[in-house]
Each structure stands twice: as C-alpha cells, then as structure tokens.
Structure 1
Amino acid sequence: MKLLALETANEQCSVALVNATQTLFSQLDQRAKAQTQTILPMIDQALTQAGIKNADLTTIAFSRGPGSFSGVRINAAVCQALAWAHDTPVIGVSTLQALAQAAYRLLGLTEVTAVLDARMNEVYIASFKLENGIMQAIDDERLLDYEQAASYKKYTVIGSGAHLIQADLDINQAIHADALDIAAIARVMAEKQQWVNAEQALPVYLRENAWKKISEQGKASK
C-alpha cells in the first residue's frame, strides 16, 4: 500500500505519504491561506523523497470537509486531478474525524467533541470515540450556532471552534488536524478497499448555498 494524504481544509497545508506500516513523508505548512502555493510542491517533494511515482499510488486520501470553503475546494480539486491522471481510487475523510484523530495522537484523548469555527456565529461539530485506534463518530456532523452547539457537545471539546462554545478552554485543546491524521483514518479504510473513483471525490460543506456566502464568510473572519 502506498497512500498519499492531503489536508488543506483548515487554512493550512499538509501532506503525508504512508505505506501499510510506516510514514514515508510528512510535512506541514502552517501559513494561513497558502495552500494554493504549497500543496503541489509538497506533493512533488513527498513522491520524490520516497522514490514513488503518481502511478504507484494505491489511493489518495483528502480532507473532504466541513471546513474552510476555499481549503476544502482546493483539497478536493487537487485530489481529483491526481486521481484522474492515473485512475487512482480516492478516500474522503471527514475534517471533524481527522480533528478527533489529532486529539488522540497529540493529547491521548479517546472521547472528544470536535468543533471547527464555521464563521457567521456558527460551528461545525460532531463527537467521536476511539475504536481500535481510530476515532469513530457517535453522532451526526452538524452546523449549529454557539448555543445549540454547547448543548450538542458530549465530551471534551477540541478544535478551532472549541473556545466559542466553552469559555474555560485549555489552550492545548485548540489543536489542528494534519495529513497524518487523514492518513491514519484512510489507511484503515484502504485496507478494506473503502474508496471511490475520482469523480466522487466531493467536498462536504454542511452550509447550504456555500458559493453565495463566500463574501459573508470573508467579512465574518476579519
């Protein structure tokens, strides 16, 4: 197995290349909104360093959202382009699940409520519990206002939107997922061949009419 994982849904950029047991490459660029400049060079670096060609990839995994509108769109577009070139199957991983996986990887938490700032006084939210090393969803991903989200949370809140629904937040809980977390989840899915073709590598926004709200999101984020 040779799995390439991409993460740009959180306004940063990371790439990981793994096989069935090892991480062959991992790089994170934390500069905000630099995904379009960094994602392709990082992919090239990953393949070159590992001595692998695009055609050798078993699957490509990407963070399918919810998250930053432009970041999710970039992730899906790059994944599709790479997959179409060599008819490589793809795996879409929930951004919230990846965030929960990061909480396990970085903090050792096994029950979390993942929360991402969705702007416009709303958050993306879902809860997860560890099963066989992977954080699995126990409820639906939702787009909620702060008050609704505070009632919806079940466990320790983590992520960029955690402080919006819980005032007494530990700074360590404001973590971000990266491609390593996408790879950890996708590796298990790839072993079961739970993938789709490139045309089904679609982003998930949760918010309706996302295209019409880009300007509103921009104003809300200032």
Structure 2
Amino acid sequence: MKLLALESANEQCSVSLIDDSQELYFQLDERAKAQTQTILPLTEQALLQTATQLADLTAIAFSRGPGSFSGVRINAAVTQALAWSQDLPVIPVSSLQALAQAAYRLTGLQQVTAVLDARMQEVYIANFCMDDHGIMQAIDEEKLLNYEQATAYCKYKPVGSGSELIKPEHIDSPNISTQISSVIKIQATAQDIATIARMRAVQQDWVNAEHALPVYLRDDAWKKIPEQGKSN
C-alpha cells in the first residue's frame, strides 16, 4: 500500500506519502494562503524522493473541508486531477476529523471538540472520540454554529483555530480536563490525513475521483465576504 495525502483546507499546505507501516515523506509549508503555489511542487517532490510513480499509489487522500473556501477547493481539484490521470480511488477526510487526530498525535487527548474559525462570528465544530484502532471518530454531526451555539455544542476539550472563540471557560462538562490549558492551538497536517486514510484504505473505504468533492457547510461559501449575509 502507498497513499498520498494532501492538506490545504486551511491556510497552510502539506503533503505526506505513507506505506502500510511508515511515513515515507512529509513536508509542510506554513506560508499563509500559498496553497496554489506549493501543493503541486510538494506532491512532485514527494513522488520523486520516494521513487514513486502516481500509478504506484493505492489511493489519494485529501482534506475535503470544512475550512477555507479556496483551500478546500484547491485540495479537491488537485486530488481529482491526479486521481483521474491514473484512475485512482480517493479518500476524502474531514478537516475536523484531521484536527482531532492531530490533537491526539500532539497531546494524547482521546476526546476532543474540534473547532475551526469560520469567520463571520461562526465556527465549524464537531466532537470526537478515539476508536479501538487509534482513529478519532465523530460522535455527532459537523456543524456551522455561532459562538454561543458552539459553546453549548462543545462536549470535550476544544482544539483548533476556533477554540478561543467559543469561551470554553463557560463550558460545564466533566469531560473537559483541568490539567491542560483551556484551549489548545493545533493545526492538522497531511500526516493526520494519512493516518486516517491508512485505516480506511485497508477497508477499501474510498470513492471514485468524481466524488472527491469539497464540503463547505456554509451554503453561501462561494460569495465574496461583502456579499455574505445579504438577502437575495
């Protein structure tokens, strides 16, 4: 098995290439909003440094959102193009699930609430728990909520770019540990996409390239910021 994982759903860009048991390549570009310039060069570098051809891949995994509109769109478009070229299956991974997986990788937390800043005084949010295979799984729906609604929806330690926006000190839950600071700033990378995708690839839980679709949660995500919120 060889999997290529792409992550550009937020403001950074990263690429990982793994096999059944180890990471063969990982590179992160933390420059803000540089995904368009970096995702293909990083992908080419991953293939070159691991002596891998696209045709050698078992599947391509990508963060399908929610997240930055342009970042999610770029990730889906590049994944589709690469997969179509070699008729490869695709594994779409939630960016919130990847964030939860990153929290486990970096802190060991096995229950978290993943929260991403969605702008416009809203956040993307979902609650996650570790399964028997070491993968963080959602226990409820991914939602786009305002800060007050998100605070009520939060069940565990909030992590991610939106964690400071939901006032976690107001959350009354026995599941939120007092041993760790009230919020944890964590960003998912292609490493986390790859970890989730490896387990799904074993189960052949994938889709055809045409179904490598972005998930925005916000219906008017295509609008420019000044237009959002206006009535039709």
CA–CA distance in 1 between the matches of 2:227 and 2:206? Answer: 32
Q: Which residue is equivalent to 1:182?
A: 193
Unaligned 5+ runs, structure 2: 170-179
Aligned counterpart, 2:88? 88
TM-score, normalization by structure 1: 0.95
1:137 corresponds in structure 2 to: 138
Do 1:160 and 1:174's aligned partners in 2 also have CA atoms closer than 8 Å?
Answer: yes
C-alpha separation in 2, matches of 1:20 and 1:100: 22
Deviation string, structure 1 residues 131-182 (Cα, Å, up to 9, x no partner): 1200000000000000000000000000000000026593871110000000
Residues 100-146 of structure 1: per-residue CA shift (max 9 Å, x gap): 00000001000000000000000000000001200000000000000
Q: CA deviation at 1:201?
A: 0.2
* Equivalent-residue separation in structure 1 for 2:102 and 2:111 (angstroms): 12
- Cα deviation for residue 54 of structure 1 reads 0.8
User: What are the residue-to-residue correspondences of 1:77-156 with 2, within 5 Å?
Assistant: 77-131=77-131, 132-156=133-157
- Larger helix proportion of the pair: 1
Q: Number of paired residues?
A: 217
Runs of 4+ deviating beyond 6 Å:
none
Q: Which has the greater radius of gyration? A: 2
Task: Give the distance between the partners of 1:61 and 1:208, measured in 2 at CA.
Answer: 24
Per-residue CA distance 1:2-55 (angstroms, 9 max, x = gap): 100000001100000000101000011111000001100100100000000111
- Name the counterpart of 2:27: 27
State the Cα distance separating 1:211 from its structure 2 match: 1.0
- Alignment partners' CA distance in 1, 2:217 and 2:183: 27
